[in-house]
Amino acid sequence: MPGVSRRLSIGTVCYAMYANPASGNQGSIARNSVIEGWDLSPGGGWSAADDPAEEILFTYLYRQRAVAYCCAYAGLKLTDARPFTGPPDAWVQLPARDYWS
């Protein structure tokens, strides 16, 4: 939901991923509240010749590893697997509102 990504990316970068069982992983990237990319395929797809070198490298290094791709694209350098293996530090329930706008 772009509204969530815009809010989470204030002053930073947010790579949002939805693991869609029907069509595969879908992602979006937001930097400082601006959506820069939408309907991305983290860890899948192919690079084009005119893609930036960083994008080509990430596509090669993280093929079929969507979560690792998202972290690298957002500039995260994780030191352990705990953010993915848990347990979570906190669960946050978002207030009811239109997060699509």
Spell out the domain ranges in the chain.
2-82
pLDDT in tens, the chain (101 residues): 899 999 999 999 999 999 989 988 999 999 999 999 998 888 887 778 888 888 888 888 888 889 999 998 888 888 988 888 889 899 989 899 988 87
For residue 29, the SS3 value is strand
What is the predicted pLDDT for the residue at 23? Answer: 87
CA distance 68 to 4: 21
- State the pLDDT at residue 30: 96
How many Å is the maximal CA-CA distance in the chain?
43
Give the C-alpha distances (Å, rounded to integers) separating 37 from 40, 64, 81, 82, 90: 7, 19, 26, 27, 28
Cβ pair 24, 57 in contact under 8 A: no
Residue 7 phi/psi, 5° resolution? -70, -40
pLDDT for the residue numbered 9: 95
| Pairwise CA distance, residues 92 & 60, whole Å | 34
Nearest to 43, CA basis, from 7, 5, 70:
70
Residue 58: the pLDDT is: 85
